[in-house]
A and B are shown apart, each in its own frame.
Chain A
Amino acid sequence: MLKVTGCSETVQEICSPISALLQRDVNGADTMMIAVASGKGGTGKTTVATNLARVSETEIYLLDCDVEEPNDHLFLKGELKREVKVNMPVPTVDTSLCNGCGECSRLCAFHAIVSIGTHPLVFPELCHGCGGCVKICPTGAISESPREIGTVSTYQADHVVLIEGRLTVGVSLAPPVIRAVRDRIPPGKTVILDAPPGTSCPVVASVRDADILLLVTEPTPFGLNDLKLAIAMARELSVPHGVLINRVGVGDSRVHDYCQGEGISILAEIPDDRRIAETYSTGAMVIDTLPEYRAIFQTLLNDLLTGSFGIRKAT
């Protein structure tokens, strides 16, 4: 699955996303992954993820899986160590071998390869890289060539190793780039994963098989509505989960009531404090600028890593 060429700084990686997903041995028993996600956007995932990583006193990996708009690097300000292109294999047709049978077209669920009694037309932007057309072609006319869909960059910021996924502009397939980010975690590491907002495919690709899922929400009707969706996703994926309520003081008590009623642990609360937003807007870290909040993140990280909440690492 992995082909490496070129110098050590820039390597080309060819991933076969769907087969890679089926075969992957996701974070092994010795890796500890805490995923930070939220149904609603703008609740504080990045604030929580970056500060949790920063407050750690030992080496920790921070994965920015919000590949449509990664921004953890703005806060960590690390040194770029490595950049890897993520490629998707897309079909190329040798028309001299093609007999126009249309088998590839009938197989492709995504209409990325289309034959109307002719040599097939290929639409790389619709291709999910499954390789099915290559296998089914009776004349061996189809081969695969790489299409760049994203970049994975590794930064070092003190003890934080930041691995950032970035989707190429114009590409809509976030999950393969997210999986490429996750594939770069060496075994045995402690990992904080900053997930994209929502509950759709990119989020599932990010939080699947996390040891603990920390759902960040705010005590508003919007926060509650989207928290319920995120909880439903976590239950469907069987990922151990708890809630962090941010901006406590705005809105009402319905998020607290919901969590209590459903038996969902509230792992931490951060008050509504304008200074936190001001800090964020300058690209600074809360625990550096407002040291009184350091203890919240320190305690949360320790509790998550030691299982103090009764939320144990997934097995």
Chain B
Amino acid sequence: MKIALPTTEKDLDSPLDSRFGRTSYFLIYDTEGEIFRIVDNQQILNSPQGAGIQAAENLAREKIDCLITVHCGPKAYRVLSAAGIKVFHTDESSVRMALEAWKNGKLTEADSANVEGHWV
């Protein structure tokens, strides 16, 4: 199972980025083999509009199964839902702690966005 988390740095102890579409990186964690890799989000971070939509499209292309994120807006949520990607909200501070909480069943699957969208 592949899990994506928005991060500000490039390892398991990185703080989670509170932004989804405009995160610095995504850490993609594979539960098979417990390995991870980093996807740079720089290009999307700097796009004038639709960052959440593009980030969600990217995760769909990466064949991600679930997303653990601090925030997720309504447009991104629509794309993630259409791609069948499950969304879990967390307020854990690091990637490692968020993954731990997820493994221990402490995170519940979101059925909606948890922040308002931007107008553009």
List 21 A-B residue pairs with CB atoms under 8 Å apart, sorted by A's residue number: A110-B49, A110-B50, A111-B50, A111-B53, A111-B54, A112-B50, A114-B79, A116-B57, A116-B60, A116-B61, A116-B82, A116-B83, A118-B83, A121-B79, A123-B50, A123-B75, A123-B78, A126-B53, A170-B119, A171-B119, A172-B119
Q: A-B contact count, CB below 8 Å?
A: 40
Give how many A residues have a beta carbon under 8 Å from the other chain's beta carbons.
Answer: 15
Interface residues of A (CB under 8 A from B): 105, 110-112, 114, 116-118, 121, 123, 125-126, 170-172
Count B-side interface residues using an 8 Å CB cutoff. Answer: 15
- Pick the contact of B53: A114, A171, A172 (CB < 8 A): A114
A272 to chain B, nearest CB (A): 37
Docked CA distance A172–B49 (Å): 12
CA distance A114 to B51 in the complex (A): 12
Residues in B whose Cβ lies below 8 Å from that of A105: 57
CA–CA, A264 and B65, complex, Å: 62
A137 to B119, CA, bound (A): 27
Q: How far is the CA of A123 from the CA of B21 in the complex (A)?
A: 16
Which residues in B have their C-beta under 8 angstroms from that of A171?
Answer: 119
CB of B120 closer than 8 Å to a CB of A: yes
Interface string of B60-96 (1 = CB under 8 A from A): 1100000000000001001100110000000000000
| Closest A residue to B78 using CB positions | A121
A117 to B83, CA, bound (A): 9
Quote the shortest CB–CB distance from A122 to chain B (angstroms). Answer: 10
Q: Which residue of A lies closest to B85 (CB)?
A: A116
Taking a contact as CB atoms under 8 Å apart, the answer to whether A114 and B57 are in contact is yes
Contact residues in B for A170 (Cβ distance below 8 Å): 119
List B contacts of A123 (CB < 8 A).
50, 53, 75, 78
Contacts of A110 on B, CB cut-off 8 Å? 49-50
Whole-angstrom CA separation of A126 from B74 in the bound complex: 13
The residue in chain A whose Cβ has the minimal distance to the Cβ of B61 is A116
Contacts of A126 in B (CB 8 A): 49-50, 53, 75, 120
Q: Which residues of A contact B78 (CB under 8 A)?
A: 121, 123
